[in-house]
Amino acid sequence: MNFPKNFLWGGAVAANQLEGAYLEDGKELNVTDVGIGIISQPDLKWNETTEKWEPSLDPDKVYLSHEGIDFYHRYKEDLELMAGMGFKAFRTSISWGRIFPKGDEKEPNEVGLKFYDDLFDEMHRLGMEPVITLSHYETPLHLLTEYGGWLSEKLIDFWMNYVTVIFNRYKGKVKYYMTFNEINNIFRMPFAAGGLLKIDPKDTSRPNADLSDKEIYQATHYIFVANAKTIKACHTIDPDAKIGCMLSLSSIATYPYSCNPDDVFGALQFQRKQKLFLDVMCKGQYPGYVKRIWREKQEEPFMREEELAQIRDNTVDYIAFSYYRSAVYKSDGSITVDTGGAAGIENPYLEGCSPKPWCWPIDPKGLRYVCNLLNDEYGLPLFIVENGIGLDETPDENGKIADDFRRKYVKDHLIQVNEAIKDGCDIMGYLYWGPIDVVSAGTGEMRKRYGFVYVDRFNDGTGSLERSKKDSYEWFKDVIATNGENLED
């Protein structure tokens, strides 16, 4: 095995999926608080009198993310469990709304800052490096209902106020930052992944019913500007910290269905929908292929010369990404995107998919393929900050969960990570997604469990919240302890 000595083994979660305490200590609603899973419609309604969108939480629905797994109050116990596996790093996000509850305040909320201070101190005490996402589907709702979220240029200033506070406060405590989680999902999930809301809608039947691609390109441009400014602020305030982009890159492994040039070129065009984000954030410029789209569809965003210069001069230190599965592109087939990446037509060469109802194709070699493509094209360090498998699991009569399926999934993917390292890719670490069961991002359910640690909580909101170790826990611990040598056992 070729994992480097300083390889960052660990796990990843996000504040909105596990903290709970959704209205505690000053926090107000954010984009994920008003829905059940980010692939469904948010619960907002148009108020004809005020002419604004407002939350319309349904008393008959169970919003599991409101309580999450109560990490906000139980983080010490949970971090002990993570440290028990020997984690070198733990990724979570700072919930923007804990620091700026509405998002447009001038002064931060000290209670929120203190929470993350304590959290990071605890991680250090347990020997884990905090890996921090600045925005993981947690834009304060007020910024959307009042300004339209990132459809407004004003968001750049609110965001910069937030990240400047963070870099100053946690200087020396956080070495690895990421800007916007999976921001390449903005076209598919503009509300939660992008933080966009049309506040002058013609169609009020549902939020963002008449949001156009041109508007999404404009918002994306503002986000790219914010990304560049954030990198600059991070490097200036805390020169020892590294900052990366974070993208869902399963879709880089989009394979052509056949050697029909339409399939091959179509697959390339589909990959480019993701590569656009890499090209801008890693190479500092808009690629020709997007300019053609803008030209032909009249979708070019308004961009100032100085913004393009900022984007050019401030590129990321590393590429952080999630990888769950690969997809197959057929020119006359359909291809969609969800939290796992692209979903195209079935690949007959793969061993299978994760158990139903999710059925995400399992393709470990796709991860090696993605690493290699990224390495060849961008030459930057790579950080695998999400990879994992969600299963519907119930403890047996002895309280045991024999999750061999998960063990095999992780083992097979790590073998390919090792191959990618041998291929010459500079891989900083591997953070398993959801080392403890959390609320699913896509469907908002508890039933889809990723953890090495089981949490007693169910879709109907019942459960004791008690934690217990699944069989994979000891196995992953051994993998880390041997720096990957014991993978095959």
What minimum distance in Å lies between the beta carbon of 383 and ligand BGP? 14
Angle CA 423–330–220, to nearest 5 = 70
* Tokens (6 digits) for 43: 């619960």
Q: Which is nearer to ligand BGP, 141 or 385 (CB)?
A: 385
Q: Which is nearer to ligand BGP, 145 or 185 (CB)?
A: 185
What minimum distance in Å lies between the beta carbon of 340 and ligand BGP? 6
- CA–CA separation, 321 vs 422, rounded Å? 19
Compute the CA torsion angle 403, 404, 408, 414 (nearest 10 deg).
50
What minimum distance in Å lies between the beta carbon of 188 and ligand BGP? 11
DSSP secondary structure code for residue 361 in this structure: B
**Cβ atoms 108, 165 nearer than 8 A:** yes
Q: Which is nearer to ligand BGP, 390 or 429 (CB)?
A: 390
What minimum distance in Å lies between the beta carbon of 443 and ligand BGP? 6
Strands 336-338 and 341-343: what pairing?
Answer: antiparallel
What minimum distance in Å lies between the beta carbon of 123 and ligand BGP? 19
**Cβ atoms 30, 140 nearer than 8 A:** yes
Nearest residue by C-beta to ligand BGP?
442
Q: Which is nearer to ligand BGP, 181 or 416 (CB)?
A: 181
Residues annotated as catalytic (active site), given as ranges: 182, 386
- CA–CA separation, 289 vs 472, rounded Å? 44
- CA–CA separation, 232 vs 215, rounded Å? 26
Could you list the residues that contact ligand BGP (CB under 6 A)?
14, 17, 181-182, 248, 322, 339, 386, 390, 433, 440-443, 448
Residues 6+ apart with CB under 8 A from 446: 64, 437, 439, 440, 455, 457, 458, 459, 463
What minimum distance in Å lies between the beta carbon of 18 and ligand BGP? 10
Nearest Cα neighbor of 190 from 42, 369, 391, 348 is: 42
Phi first, then psi: give them for residue 220, nearest 5 degrees.
-60, -40
- C-beta neighbour count of 87 within 10 angstroms: 26
Nearest Cα neighbor of 467 from 97, 140, 22, 81 is: 81
Phi first, then psi: give them for residue 378, nearest 5 degrees.
-115, -20
User: What are the strands, taking DSSP E only, across 344-463?
Assistant: 382-386, 427-433, 453-455
Q: Which is nearer to ligand BGP, 18 or 427 (CB)?
A: 18
Q: Which is nearer to ligand BGP, 441 or 480 (CB)?
A: 441
* Cα separation values, 322 from 11, 263, 386, Å: 12, 25, 4
What minimum distance in Å lies between the beta carbon of 390 and ligand BGP? 5
Q: Which is nearer to ligand BGP, 39 or 308 (CB)?
A: 39
